[in-house]
Structure 1
Amino acid sequence: MAPVFSKLLSSRLSATVVTGAFLVHMLKNRQAKAQIRRVGSVADLPAHIDDQPLIQRSKNDKAAVDLVFFKRLGRVLKVLVPGWFSAETGYLALVALALMARTYCDVWMIQNGTAIESSIIGRDVNLFKTYLFNFIYAMPAISLVNNILKYGLNELKLRFRTRLTTHLYEQYLKGFTYYKMSNLDNRIANADQLLTQDVERFCNSVAELYSNLSKPILDILIYVRELAATIGPQGPTYMIGYLVLSGLILTRLRRPVGRMTVDEQRYEGEFRYVNSRLITNSEEVAFYQGNKRERRNIYHAFNKLVNHLRSFIFFRFSMGFVDNIIAKYIATVVGYLVVSRPFLNLNNSAFIGKKHSFLMETYYKAGYMMVRMSQAVGRVVLAGRELTRLAGFTQRVTELMTVLNDLNSGRYERTMVRESKADSDSEEDREPLVPGSGKLIHQDHIIEFKQVPLVTPNGDVLVREMTFTVKSGVNVLICGPNGCGKSSLFRILGELWPLFGGTLIKPEARKLFYVPQRPYMTLGTLRDQIIYPDCKEDMLRKGISDKDLETLVAQVQLSNILDREGGWDSVQDWMDVLSGGEKQRVAMARLFYHKPQFAILDECTSAVSVDVEGFIYAHAREVGITLFTVSHRKSLWKHHEYYLMFDGRGAYEYKKIDLETVQFGS
């Protein structure tokens, strides 16, 4: 009676603990939601998991172990394992052989260990020494098998990550895809996390799942054969039946894990995003003294992550409770029932008249194998949990692959905004604008717009149609109020934005050069800053030497930088080391190094003196670089032949600059 009462008390206590934990969890969620409604200070902002995330959820945002998951996984596996004769296939085979050897080592150790225990009980010194020395001799081989398995798994993870990372970056850095993902398409946010953290976790999960499924399945097959020879085929059959039943139950219960994994990675990405924004814009935030607001934003993102992780922890606690009962303890009970059945059957002829030592050795051997088999059954069942988690990572990775393929094919998805109200009166009479419907023709020494609309990726129409021609040698000054379309024009010229109609004739993108107000300084040497995006080998291949670079920096009055920084091979954090004016002059030297047909100068001489600026424009004309300039300096009008002026209301004016215009500008 006491054992029954103890079990009953234990089960009621477990139920009470689970119920109490669930009530505490629900109470915390209600408190968190109420706290959000009455936000008082920054610390009182724990955003709950139902808040609208920074990254919009997809309509088909589903991660579960189903047919869709296996299709997604198959798509990624084609990248991870490109062929039968690849190195990855070899390591998969190595891991499989190591797993098989490991299982046979386990079987041998059970048999040898049982023999050692039998010799001890039988007080047979010679047999004890024999089996003990067998174990000592086998230790190096067993250790080698274990470490070959670890080596194979680690190498497999690394090779999977290398394959997938290389494949994704080939797509991500193809053309302007990296730009389009951030500016033209809003399906993926925080691509950096997907390309780094999520890829690593996915590859690790695939390799671990391969091992965690292969080893138990192999164990089950081998132990079934051994047990069938020892206690008959019925015992292993019952265990396999239990595997199927428990697997179906637990797989159904674990379905939310995939979705929760996707949400976890999304909230991690949001938290990382708000931190990176603060780092990128720290100066502006400091000027505005916006630390309290930024702290509010960071706490908001962090608390959404924390609340989700807390929910996930509770779900794993609940599932762990069920997993342990079904996959471990009940499996062990079934194992005991199965292994005891032939021994407790008094009519079993196989054990009638056998010695006690034989029965003991057979029982221990069968018992150990059944325990190992029940453990293997439990690992197969629990592997479903990892499979569900893998479904979440697979959904994230395949979504990234889909978006990259779409962008490289010229397709993007973004919430389109109707054009401004000023144009709404005649909107019904005009055909809708379709991204990519324009025609692009590459031709040297000319830029010509033929009825090209100036439209943002959101669909905001800045100018309905633009028609003008610029030939080499004709500099153009771009002017107009903020938001009128100057930057949009350059992005269309640089082929960053799609054409919404008309025909654009221009040189290839590499024959146009863009010089912004805040030039980009790359990682590397001082030489790399001048020749970017070329490397030293590209420079030498073009027949340009360091002496030629010295002439370029002298032309922009930057010769002193060589002595100050220690020569061309000096490596510094150039964004911080160089002043604003020095960075602008480096950018101009970079322009003269590449000598494009056309250059876009976007307020790029605002931190340079007027005399240096005049020399730069004169030298650009000498070397045959035609300039599009955005600047508010009146002194620059004399260096241009035409001006393109936007009025900010959808109209523009393209006219020749005459003497009167120059005098007005100066």
Structure 2
Amino acid sequence: MAAVSKYLTAKNSSIAGGVLLVLYILKQRRRAAKLKGKKGSSEVLLNNEKDSKKDRAAVDKDFVLRIFRILRIMVPRFFCKETGYLLLIAAMLVTRTYCDVWMIQNGTMIESGIIGRDINLFKKHFYFYIAAIPGIALVNNFLKLGLNKLKLRFREKLTKHLYDEYLKGYTYYKMGNLDNRIANADQLLTQDVEKFCNSVVDLYSNLSKPLLDIGLYIFKLTSAIGAQGPASMMAYLLVSGLFLTRLRRPIGKMTVTEQRFEGEYRYVNSRLITNSEEIAFYNGNLREKQTIHATFNKLVDHLHNFIFFRFSMGFVDSLIAKYLATVVGYLVVSRPFLNPSDTRHLTSTHSELLEDYYQSGRMLLRMSQALGRIVLAGREMSRLSGFTSRITELMKVLKELNSGTYERTMVNQPNSGELEAEEKVTLIPGGGQIVNMDNIIKFEHTPLATPNGDVLIKDLNFEVRSGANVLVCGPNGCGKSSLFRVLGELWPLFGGQLTKPERGKLFYVPQRPYMTLGTLRDQVIYPDTYDDQKRKGISDLVLKEYLDNVQLGHILDREASWDTVQDWMDVLSGGEKQRMAMARLFYHKPQFAILDECTSAVSVDVEDYIYSHCRMVGISLFTVSHRKSLWKHHEYYLHMDGRGNYEFKPITEETVEFGS
């Protein structure tokens, strides 16, 4: 159709107009059909609405409110270091503006001395210039120092604030496992925060300096060429600024999309490193390469579009903010000299006219450049709006997660009747009550459900007191891990009442224990620090006993010091890591411990000793294990069948014989 339109355009303009009108109508109908198709699918529509809200980033009222909300975090009070650096930058900007005006005036006098062959005038102002060089250089570098320090201070304040919220309670877990609004928190907390802080400080510098220049040059030029010239330049600034701001609106959204794709690209690379061994066993390098290439190509395609858009906007920016501004400047500065009705220069000599024009022209040129920088600052402001949108979204999600609210997109949307019934029973995160009480774990009419709302057990009721061990068994997917996540308060309680000790009195030991970065001592006392260990009055000799109890004393002998730093995830074998986790359990001595297949790589004799020692020191256990030899160490069993049913009964001799 485009080819036909081109052909008809060459033949007859009226026919071409009709064809173009038809093409336009067809295009609108096609767009309407697409929208109608989207309305037919509720899931797609909901996702598109969510993406549009998340991606909305423009220089508007919301942007101003967001930026001030974040600035209150980065500048917490008036008398602080950040305010000092802001004032230093402002002072250096004012000083540099006056230095620019002085250099224009002094340079004009030097050139007047050269043209007028006045050696005394030349020497005087030439020496003034030489004497001023160190001061001007110092002002410029003080300005750079203030800008760099302010960027670092802003990043420090904002990063610490975000991490305080991110690492409050289990928020970091909830963000990745309960809530799916933030896909790559690491990208936001590192790169996006740095880029946001740099953009804010650069915008402060790029706006305040031109504004100071404009104010000062308007004052100087009004006395030299009248008020009409500066007023014309300001009118041009207003019109061109509004026009360019309108054109730049897509930059904010494109910046948000760029950072999201960057985060996805980083994620697939870190995932490859984390799971390199499993991938190597599967010979999955080609499949992973396809995944990485697909993610990278998505980023590259977007960047190509972004580069082309910036190229187009750069052309328009240069045309309007740079060259047309210079044209307006020429028209304004020439008017007093070329207008016959202007009487100010009727009696001026050629030298005076040249000096006046040269000085006024330079000031007007600097003013037009300042106006151009303000217009171009809109481009950076549009990009900043993208970073502001992402940081604001992160702050909003962190706040809601810390208040117990989360959002999760359902993959399978139930019909309205099912959804209403399900919401009444399960989809009320935090609908249950948690009561903290020592030496007891009690579920009272508690539904066991996943964050997606899938009900595993509708009504869970059982009670365990300190001194009794419970063996949890059942097929995969029956709810064993879900039970422990509810106990650890990682997942919300959807109803009923759960009575349990405080978080610090319940310890979890997984099948693949976590080894922290740090010393050998840190592996035993984690998450305590060395100061916490000393505060508890536990000596290194006691730590050595814990290692000996789990047959890991040879590691201390091999490393020769508790302060040895290694990559313990690689240095220790699977069985050694499991035994190290048990030594960690002995150190903390909680009231209850959850052992999730945590002795699968440990010999039976060491396992027997571990369970006997736990009973001796008063640690009650919830154990998930398929080893039949462990039945004798427990008083109760909790069996889940995976179909919503369970039974909680004492372990008798017949049960042990059946388990054996």
Same fold, judged at TM 0.5 (above): yes
Which one is further off, 120-129 or 304-313? 120-129
Q: Deviations over 1:96-145 (max 9, x none)?
A: 11100000000000000111011001111111111111001001110111
For residues 193-215 of structure 1, the C-alpha deviation after alignment (integer angstroms, 9 at most, x for no partner) is 00010000000000000000000
- The answer on 1:557 being equivalent to 2:551 is yes
Q: In the alignment, does 2:149 pair up with 1:140?
A: no
- Distance verdict in 2 for CA 1:119–1:257, change over 3 Å: same
SS in 2 for 1:436: coil
How many Å apart are 1:349 and its aligned residue?
A: 2.4
- Whichever residue aligns with residue 172 of structure 2, its letter is Y
Work out whether 1:483 is the aligned partner of 2:477. yes
Among candidates 218, 223, 244, match of residue 229 of structure 1? 223
The equivalent position to 2:376 in structure 1, one of 375, 379, 382, is 382
CA contact (8 A) 2:426 2:449 kept: no
Residue 514 of structure 1 aligns to a residue whose secondary structure is strand
1:356 paired with 2:350, answer: yes
Q: Which amino acid aligns with 1:567?
A: S
How much does 1:652 deviate? 0.6
2:340 maps to amino acid:
L
Tell me how far 1:559 sits from its aligned partner: 0.5
Q: Deviations over 1:624-664 (max 9, x none)?
A: 00000000111111000111111111111111111111122
Q: 1:275 offset after TM fit, Å?
A: 1.2
Residue 58 to residue 493, structure 1, CA distance change in 2 (3 Å) = farther
- Tell me how far apart the structure 2 counterparts of residues 625 and 120 of structure 1 sit (CA, whole Å): 94
Report deviation, 1:348.
Answer: 2.7
Paired residues for 1:198-217 under 5 Å: 198-217=192-211
**What SS class does the counterpart of residue 477 from structure 1 fall into?**
strand
SS in 2 for 1:444: coil
Contact 1:161–1:200 under 8 Å retained in 2 = yes
Does the CA-based 8 Å contact 1:54-1:270 persist in structure 2? Answer: no
Cα distance between partner residues in 1 of 2:52 and 2:58: 15
The residue number in structure 2 matching 1:16 is none
CA apart distance, 1:88:
1.1
Q: What does residue range 372-451 of structure 1 map to in structure 2 within 5 Å?
A: 372-416=366-410, 431-451=425-445
1:493-515 Cα shifts (integer Å, max 9, x gaps): 00000001010000001100000
Deviation of 1:491 after TM superposition, in Å, equals 0.2
Q: Is the 8 A contact 2:509 2:594 kept in 1?
A: yes
Closer/same/farther in 2, CA of residues 58 and 581 from structure 1, 3 Å limit: farther
Q: Specify the alignment match of 2:462 in structure 1.
A: 468
When residues 99 and 283 of structure 1 are mapped into structure 2, their CA distance, relative to the original with a 3 A threshold, is same
SS for the counterpart of 1:452 is strand
Residue 291 of structure 1: which of 285, 298, 301 is its match?
285
Tell me which moved more, 342-351 or 493-502. 342-351
CA apart distance, 1:295: 1.0
Which residue, out of 87, 93, 103, partners 1:99? 93
The 5 Å alignment of 1:359-370 reads 359-370=353-364
2: CA distance, partners of 1:108 / 1:424: 77
Paired with 2:244 and 2:420, the residues of 1 have a C-alpha distance of 61
Which residue of the partner structure matches residue 630 of structure 2? 636
Q: Does 1:243 align with 2:226?
A: no
CA distance in 1, matches of 2:542, 2:299: 54
Per-residue deviation, 1:281: 1.5
Q: Distance in 2 between matches of 1:233 and 1:190?
A: 54
What is the rounded CA distance, in whole Å, between the counterparts of 2:58 and 2:425 in structure 1? 43
8 Å Cα contact 1:259-1:392 kept in structure 2: yes
Question: Map of 1:554-633 to 2, 5 A cutoff?
Answer: 554-633=548-627
Partner of 1:371: 365
1:15 maps to which residue? none
Residues in 2 aligned to 1:451 and 1:576: alpha-carbon distance in whole angstroms: 44
Matched, 1:302 2:303: no
Contact map agreement 2:472 2:622 (CA 8 A) in 1: yes
Per-residue deviation at 1:420? 11
Q: Is the 8 A contact 1:643 1:655 kept in 2?
A: yes
1:563 CA drift (Å)? 1.9
Indicate conservation of the 8 Å contact 1:56/1:187, yes or no.
no
Q: Deviations over 1:356-378 (max 9, x none)?
A: 11111111101111110010000
Name the counterpart of 1:645: 639
RMSD: 2.1
Q: Aligned to 2:51, what secondary structure does the other structure show? A: coil
Name 2:512's counterpart in structure 1: 518
The amino acid across from 2:582 in the alignment is: M
SS of 1:351's equivalent in the other structure is coil
Alpha-carbon separation, structure 2, partners of 1:191 and 1:408? 15
Q: Distance in 2 between matches of 1:60 and 1:618?
A: 54
SS at match of 2:55: coil
Shift of 1:583: 0.5
Deviation track 1:367-391 (CA, whole Å, cap 9, x = no partner) reads 1111100100000000000111111
DSSP-derived class of the 2:395 partner: helix
Query: Contact between 1:447 and 1:469, CA under 8 Å: does it hold in 2?
Result: yes
Change (3 A) 1:468 1:55: farther
Q: Which amino acid aligns with 2:123?
A: K
Structure-2 change in CA distance of 1:53 and 1:149 (3 Å): farther
Residue type of the alignment partner of 2:92: A
Q: CA deviation at 1:243?
A: 0.4
Structure 2 portions without partners, runs of 5+: 1-43
Asked if 1:130 is matched to 2:124, the reply is yes
SS in 1 for 2:566: coil
Separation in structure 2 between the aligned mates of residue 286 and residue 195 of structure 1, nearest angstrom: 31
592-601 or 545-554, larger mean C-alpha shift: 545-554
Change (3 A) 1:138 1:529: same
Aligned length: 615
What's the secondary structure of 1:57's corresponding residue? helix
How far apart, CA to CA, are the structure 1 residues paired with 2:197 and 2:566? 35
Report the CA distance between 1:566 and its aligned residue.
2.9
User: Deviations 1:52-105 (Å, cap 9, x if unpaired)?
Assistant: 999972545300111111111111111111121121111111111110000000
DSSP-derived class of the 1:328 partner:
helix
- Paired residue secondary structure (1:644): strand
- Conserved 8 A contact 2:426-2:455: no
Quote the sequence identity (%).
68
Q: Report SS of the residue matched to 2:565.
A: coil
Shift of the alpha carbon at 1:286?
1.6
Q: Are the equivalent residues in 1 in contact too, given 2:470–2:621 (CA < 8 A)?
A: yes
TM-score by length of structure 2 reads 0.91
Please name the residue that 2:83 is paired with.
Answer: 89
How many angstroms apart in 2 are the aligned matches of 1:639 and 1:576?
32
Which residue of structure 2 aligns with residue 196 of structure 1?
Answer: 190
Q: 1:199 to 1:543 in 2, by over 3 A?
A: same
Q: In the aligned structure 2, how far is the partner of 1:180 from the partner of 1:602?
A: 21
**Aligned residue type for 1:570:** T
Residues 426, 494 of structure 2: 8 Å contact kept: no
Alignment of 1:37-116 (within 5 A): 57=51, 59-116=53-110
Q: Any idea what SS the aligned residue of 1:457 has?
A: coil
User: Is the contact between residue 476 and residue 643 of structure 1 (CA under 8 Å) also seen in structure 2?
Assistant: yes
Question: Displacement of 1:429 after TM fit?
Answer: 12
The aligned residue for residue 548 of structure 1 is 542
Contact 1:55-1:188 at 8 Å conserved across structures: no
1:594 Cα offset (Å): 0.2
Per mean C-alpha deviation after superposition, the further-off stretch among 341-350 and 402-411 is 341-350
Alpha-carbon contact 1:419-1:460 (below 8 Å) kept: no
Q: Which secondary structure state, in structure 1, belongs to the residue aligned with residue 111 of structure 2?
A: helix
Kept after mapping to 2: 8 A contact 1:327/1:382: yes
Separation of aligned partners in 1, 2:157 and 2:494: 37
- In structure 1, the partner of 2:29 is none
